[in-house]
Amino acid sequence: MKSREKVYMDCEDGLLAICGPRVGKTTSLAVPMICEAPGSVLATSNKRDIVDLPRAIRAKRGRVWVFDPQGISGEPPTWYWDMIGYINSAERAMEIATVFMDCKPGGGDATNAGFFREMGRNLLAGLFLAASRSGAGIDAVRDWLADQSDQTPLRILRESGDMGLERYLRGIYQTNPQQRDGYFGEASSFANVFLFDEITDWIRPSPGREAFDIEAFVRSGCQLIPGQVRRPQTLFMLSAENSAKECPQYITALTVAVTRTAETIAATLPHGRLDVPLYAVLDEAANVCRWGALPKMYSHYGSRGIVLATILQSYAQGRNVWGKESMDAMWSAATTKCYGGGSSEVEFLRSLSQLVGEFWTQHVSVSTSAHSPGVSSSRQVSKEDIFSAADLAAIPRGYMVMLASGEEPLLVNTVPYWSRPYGGEVGQKPARRLNPIPVVEAEVDGGAGPVSFTPREGIRIGQP
Give me the pLDDT at residue 87, please: 98
Most confident of 107-116, 411-420, 446-455: 411-420
Percent of the chain whose pLDDT exceeds 90: 72
- Summarised one tens digit per residue, pLDDT across range 330-371 is 999 999 999 999 998 999 999 999 998 876 676 667 776 666
Higher pLDDT, 355 or 256: 256
Q: What is the mean pLDDT of residues 375-379?
A: 70
Q: Is 355 exposed, middle or buried (0-12, 13-18, 19+ CB in 10 A)?
A: middle
User: Using CA atoms, how far apart are residues 65 and 320, in angstroms rounded to an integer?
Assistant: 30
Give me the pLDDT at residue 429, please: 52
- H or E element at residue 400: strand 399-404
Query: Does the pLDDT at position 453 exceed 60?
Result: no
Taking alpha carbons only, the member of 312, 309, 338, 243 closest to residue 21 is 312
- Summarised one tens digit per residue, pLDDT across range 124-140 is 999 999 999 999 999 99
Higher pLDDT, 46 or 3: 46
Query: Does the pLDDT at position 105 exceed 50?
Result: yes
Give me the pLDDT at residue 436, please: 40
Strand, helix or coil for residue 222: helix
Supply angle C-alpha 456, 426, 249, rounded to 5.
80
Domain ranges, ordered by start, for the chain = 11-72+216-342+395-440, 83-196, 360-385
Question: Residue 207 has what DSSP assignment?
Answer: T
Pairing of strands 210-211, 41-45: unpaired
Tell me if the pTM is above 0.75.
yes
Higher pLDDT, 373 or 461: 373
Question: Residue 167 has what DSSP assignment?
Answer: H
pLDDT bucket at 450, cuts 50 / 70 / 90: very low
Give every CB contact of residue 102 below 8 A, 6+ residues apart in sequence.
Answer: 252, 290, 291, 292
Please provide the average confidence, as pLDDT, over all residues in the chain: 87
Give me the pLDDT at residue 406, please: 85
Name the CA radius of gyration of the chain, rounded: 26
Q: Which fold has domain 11-72+216-342+395-440?
A: Rossmann fold (3.40.50)
pLDDT bucket at 437, cuts 50 / 70 / 90: very low
> Which residues sit opposite 311 in a β-bridge?
17, 283
Taking alpha carbons only, the member of 463, 456, 462, 461 closest to residue 11 is 456
